[in-house]
Amino acid sequence: MTEFLSENALWALTLTVAAYQLGAWVQKKTRIAALSPILTGAALVIVLLIVLKVPNAQYQAGMTHLSFLLTPCTVCFGIPLYKQLDRLKGNLTAIFAGVFAGAAASIFLIAGMCFFLRTENAVSIALLPKSITTAMALPLSEKAGGLVPLTAAAVILSGILGNVAGEGIAKASKICHPIAKGVAFGTASHVAGTAKAAELDELTGAVSSLSLVVAGILTAVLMPFLLPLFA
Amino acid sequence: MKYLTQLLIIFAFTFLGEALSALLPLPIPASIYGLVLLFLALKLKLVRTQQVEDVGSFFISLLPILFVAPMVDLMDCWETLRSALLPSLAVIVVSTVFVFYISGRVTELVLRKQEEKHHD
């Protein structure tokens, strides 16, 4: 069984898509927004892997055939960004102000919390870039001496948290404008948040993709200033 | 054929992004180079929207499912992260919610200020 599974990648793809679809069906039926198919799908896969005694590494190896699409899928946000350009142009000041506030708040709040929680330096450094996309966060963490697996986990959790809870937070804090929502999703939760933003509205998705790019660059610029705290 | 051409264009821009990211010494990933290049090509009319739109929307709608495997992968990292688990989770949850709130609110406020100015 294990031998067949390790030579054949399709079971992992089929399982993932089926688990996700089932999760989407549950979310629709229960009307509970927090039951994101990403969460229920992943939970289902984990349970099945444990019950069938299939190592996670084998599942991950199968999933690389799908995961490589993350880069072209992100590239595709160039399209809504272009289509929504006219609606973005007059609002660039607001967008940049929001992203700057968010990216700065992120890095200072994380540094402050780590300082008071007395986490180890490698842990604090690993958490600093956690709101930006994996491909930018991991090298930043590694270069500064952070615990890289923690950065990877923190980036994913921040992304999924924004994806799942974003709509609720926006409603509770009266973030109503599609552009403001886009800035919030992209700045707090990178590509995973942008995936949700794109489901809500094309303009929101476009703004979110722009915000994740700007937030990533700002974080790379700001992070070195806080590193002396954790040396 | 239509979809194949669209796929070709998107993959070509992704590849260009990968190449730039490998060649240039900046800490910018391939996906962001590719996104900016595709945007510029559309803006300069080198590529028309209809030449990438269908496959582009399909790819964007695929995105959420790509996060299932990284979530599942977290099951293996508990051991390494156990010592820092609670403080890390606290930092992740508090900062993500706060950043979402502050970036959204600041944008909303600036947008409103600008709208008021227009009305004056």
Identify whether the C-beta of residue B95 lies closer than 8 Å to the C-beta of residue A109: yes
Check residue B112 and give its pLDDT: 93
Residue A153 within a domain: yes
Output the pLDDT for position A231.
Answer: 80
Contacting residues of B for A156, CB less than 8 Å apart:
67, 70-71, 73-74
For residue B24, what are the CA distances in angstroms to A44, A199, A216, B21, B55?
Answer: 41, 33, 17, 6, 28
Of B37, B74, B87, Cβ closest to residue A156:
B74
**pLDDT > 70 in chain B, percent:** 98
| Residues B65 and B89 grouped into a single domain | no
- Please judge whether B30 and A71 are an interchain contact, meaning their C-beta atoms are less than 8 angstroms apart: yes
CA-nearest residue to B115 within chain A is A91
Q: What is the predicted pLDDT for the residue at A2?
A: 62
Contact, A136 vs A129, CB < 8 A? yes
pLDDT of residue B34: 94
For A197, residues 6+ apart whose C-beta sits below 8 A from its C-beta are: A166, A181, A182, A185, A186, A204, A205, A207, A208
Task: Check whether B120 has a pLDDT greater than 70.
Answer: no
Same domain? For A144 and A101 the reply is yes
Chain A residues in contact with B52 by the CB 8 A cut-off are: 76, 79
pLDDT at residue B105 above 90? yes
Extract the residue ranges of chain A whose pLDDT is less than 70: 1-7
Co-location of B92 and B37 in the same domain: no
How many interchain CB pairs under 8 A, A with B? 318
Residues A13, A97, single domain; the answer is no
Over residues B54-82, the mean pLDDT reads: 87
Predicted local distance difference test score (pLDDT) of residue A15: 93
- What percent of chain B stands above pLDDT 90? 66
Whole-number pLDDT of residue A7: 67
Range of the domain at B24: 1-76
pLDDT score at A98: 97
User: Which amino acid is located at B103 in the chain?
Assistant: S
Q: Are residues A54 and A93 in the same domain?
A: no
Q: Which residues of chain A lie closer than 8 angstroms to B59, CB-CB?
A: 69, 72-73, 76
Cα separation, A33 vs A38, in Å, equals: 12
Between the CA atoms of A207, A209, A214 and A217, what dihedral angle is there, to the nearest 10 degrees? 170
Higher pLDDT, A159 or B117: A159
Residues of B within 8 A of A63 (CB-CB) are 69
Domain count, chain B: 2
Same domain, B39 and B83: no
Residue with the bigger pLDDT between A164 and B81: it is A164
One domain for residues A189 and A109: yes
Query: Which of B30, B41, B59 is the closest to A76 by Cβ?
Result: B59
Contact (CB<8Å) B106/A74: no
Instruction: Let me know if residue A152 belongs to a domain.
Output: yes
Q: Are residues B94 and B112 in the same domain?
A: yes
Distance from chain centroid for Cα B10: 15
pLDDT given for residue A121 in this prediction: 92
Q: B87 and B44 share a domain?
A: no
Whether A43 and A104 share a structural domain: no
Confidence (pLDDT) at A190? 94
Nearest-angstrom CA–CA distance, A84 and A80: 6
Say if residue B65 is in the same domain as residue B94: no
Total of domains in chain A: 2
| Mean pLDDT calculated for residue range B13-37 | 92
The reported pLDDT for the residue numbered B116 is 85
Residue A183, domain member (yes or no): yes
Whether residues A180 and A156 fall in one domain: yes
What is the domain extent for residue A16?
Answer: 2-68
Verify that B29 and B87 share a domain, yes or no: no
pLDDT of A114 reads 95
Domain co-membership, B28 together with B58 = yes
Mean pLDDT over B18-47 rounds to 92
Residues B99 and B119 in one domain: yes
The verdict on B69 and B45 lying in the same domain is yes
Determine, for residues A127 and B91 on separate chains, whether the beta-carbon distance falls below 8 Å: yes
Looking at the domain assignment, is residue A187 inside a domain?
yes
Q: Are A3 and A58 in contact (CB under 8 A)?
A: no
Task: Give the pLDDT confidence of A85-117 residue by residue, as tens digits.
Answer: 998 998 999 999 999 999 999 999 999 999 999
- A159 lies in a domain? yes
CB contact under 8 A, B64 and A135: no
Is A158 found in the same domain as A125? yes
pLDDT of residue A3: 66
In this structure, the answer to whether residues B43 and B92 fall within a common structural domain is: no
**Do A212 and A126 belong to one domain?**
yes
- Does some domain include residue A73? no
